[in-house]
Copies of this chain bind each other. A is one copy, B any other.
Amino acid sequence: MKTLRLAVLPGDGIGIEVTETTLPVFEKLGVPVDVQFGDIGWEFWKKEGNPVPERTWELIESSDATMIAAITSKPHAQAMAELSQELRETGVSYLSPVIQLRQRLGLFANVRPVFSIPGNPRQIADNMNFTVIRENTEGLYAGFDFSPIPDELFEFIQRKKGARSSWQMESPMDGAVALRLMTRDGVKRLLHFAFQCARDQGYPRVTWVDKPNVMRESGQFCLDILEEVAAEYPGIPWEVQNVDATAMWMVRDPGHFGVIVSENQFGDILSDLGAGLMGGLGLAPSANLGAEKAYFEPVHGSAPKHAGKGIVNPSAMFLTTSLTLKHHGYTDQADAIQRAVASVIEEGKVLTYDLGGNATTREMADAILARL
């Protein structure tokens, strides 16, 4: 086997502890890896004024695979107070490192599997097996968010305002605006990816989720592309749902879904909802994929409240490792990790608090490792 050059970016908070306890998995599985740790997150913002230092971009560039554990996306007030006077005065703001990575590396597909595990005490159904694919670079996260409203936009809004609206704005200071932007190329590559995923992994259908009954123009723009793309995958059933209805049906009948594909913000919401159906973020892995690069991370955040206590569930990180290996061709090893996590949960003896147990992060990780 070829050695996998692996960039590991533990990041902030609980990222450190889930990384530490999960990394032995490669040796256990006999997958030859060359692990290089990389710097990312709030600590490097504090020290260097840059949460993704240039050396980290280089490391990612020169690695076969990148795994991230958890990174502060927006510092809390307390964290802000730790900043040096100097840094505070630059007025530069801390941009979410994961969003920087997704945009700069063109990782347009954020893939988030949702699945039942026999015996999982917290899941709401035992027939879940779908994947949420979230557009990862545009939509409401494209970076066009303003307050006060820029003059050009303010004038545009006042001009188009129409009599039917009840709200008023006197000046650009009286409002805020964010743009939900979709591009033809962006929607097209996303949908191709979704249909290919359904085909390759045998999912029963593709569900495009948007709100075309209200957002008629951008909605129709996407529907036209959907029809075009779907026609290239004749065997795959597809449907359109309104995002509100999807949120309801994911709870009521999660077994219905195969691939759910959506805009960035909607996908963000639905994938966390999916994690909720599984019993929380402790079990939810994700892959951020582009045409060339990729990185893998648990859906959970840095959870400052829990950091350093050694109590969080390491499963999401194990399952993230599984996605990483699968993406790089180590299918058997990837499956083995999934089975090991499932078997520890099914046995129900060594579980962290989120699954109703009182094991530590290390104890649950060791239980998983022991089954490999």
Contacts and interface: CB of A to CB of B under 8 A. Distances in A.
Interface stretch (A199-207, A262-270, A335-343): A262-270
A247 B272 contact: yes
Given A175-B183, A181-B157, A145 B217 contact: yes
A144 B124 contact: no
Contact of A244 (B173, B245, B272): B272
B140 A180 contact: yes
Interface in A95-119: 96, 99-100, 103-106, 108
B243 A103 contact: no
Nearest to A150: B156
Contact of A247 (B213, B216, B220, B269): B269
Interface in A260-314: 265-266, 268-273, 275-277, 279-281, 290
Contact of A152 (B104, B156, B215): B156
A96 B145 contact: no
A165 to B, nearest CB: 5
A185 to B, nearest CB: 6
Nearest to A268: B244
B141 A214 contact: yes
Contacts of A180: 140, 177-180
Interface stretch (A3-11, A19-27, A249-257, A324-332): A249-257
B221 A247 contact: no
A122 to B, nearest CB: 8
Interface in A141-171: 141-147, 150, 152-153, 156-157, 160, 162, 164-169
Chain A contact residues (Cβ within 8 angstroms of B): what range? 35 or more
A52 B251 CA distance: 34
Interface string A207-248: 000011111111111100000000000000000000111011
A76 to B, nearest CB: 10
Nearest to A178: B180
A269 to B, nearest CB: 5
A184 interface: yes
A183 B122 CA distance: 40
A87 interface: no
A147 B280 CA distance: 38
B137 A213 contact: no
A147 B214 contact: no
A93 interface: yes
A174 interface: yes
Given A99-B214, A252-B276, A185 B179 contact: no
Given A243-B265, A248-B276, 20 more contacts: A93-B216, A96-B213, A106-B166, A138-B167, A140-B215, A147-B220, A147-B221, A152-B152, A157-B181, A167-B181, A169-B183, A169-B184, A177-B180, A177-B182, A178-B180, A243-B269, A244-B269, A248-B280, A248-B281, A250-B276
The 5 closest A-B pairs by CB, nearest first: A251-B276, A106-B166, A176-B218, A74-B213, A248-B276
Interface of A: 73-74, 93, 96, 99-100, 103-106, 108, 122, 124, 137-138, 140-147, 150, 152-153, 156-157, 160, 162, 164-169, 173-186, 211-222, 243-245, 247-252, 265-266, 268-273, 275-277, 279-281, 290
8 contacts: A145-B216, A166-B290, A167-B183, A167-B186, A169-B184, A177-B181, A211-B265, A252-B280
